[in-house]
Amino acid sequence: MNQMTAAPVSDMTKTMFMISGAVGMVLGIVAFSAMFGSFAVDEISRSGLWAWISGGIWLWVLIAALSGIAMGVLCCSAMYVAIEIHAVKCASDTSATQSVAAGFGAVVAGVLPALLIVGQGISAQDPWPTTLIALGFLLVCFAVGFVIVAGLNLNHSRGLRA
């Protein structure tokens, strides 16, 4: 089986940050919707749909998007550092090992928000739901970091063959 050689990090840095920011924005909006969806439904039933669309939703979406972009850039920074550390330690870097290193870098960046999520649930009678949410968050961080770098490596290897 032929192993793909990894792309140099300098070749994919800009694209990696842009994709991470865009994915972070989308996931930030999804996360805010999941966390504050019941509040939005209450607000719509109290003030009406049109009043909420014309007023409150835009600020809510802006905060969600900016929070997601910040988390995406933070995870991408950790991915970049992890890939660079892995490149120094391993002379023969494959795309699979580089993708795994990026995934673990994203997990390292996601530990602080995950701890904040767990901290919110500690005071509850049943802390397991928030613990599972935090673990799911870390899993999503790993998956997104892995897929971004694997996709960029695949694109790089296709460019070399063409």
Residue position matching structure tokens 């970091």: 145
φ, ψ for residue 8, nearest 5 deg: -65, 140
Determine how many CB atoms are found less than 10 A away from the CB of residue 92: 8
Distance CA 39, CA 59 (A): 14
What is the rounded average pLDDT of the residues 105-126? Answer: 89
Confidence at residue 1, expressed as pLDDT on a 0 to 100 scale: 36
Tally of CA atoms within 13 A in the half-sphere of 23 that contains its CB:
20
Confidence at residue 77, expressed as pLDDT on a 0 to 100 scale: 96
- What's the whole-model pTM score? 0.84
Res. 133: pLDDT tops 70: yes
CA angle, corner 95, sides to 11 and 30, nearest 5? 80
CA angle, corner 159, sides to 21 and 78, nearest 5? 30
Distance CA 67, CA 123 (A): 25
* Contact yes or no for 15/160 (Cβ under 8 A): no
pLDDT digits (tens, 9 = 90+) for 12-24: 899 999 999 999 9
Q: At what angle do helices 95-122 and 56-89 cross, to 10 degrees?
A: 130
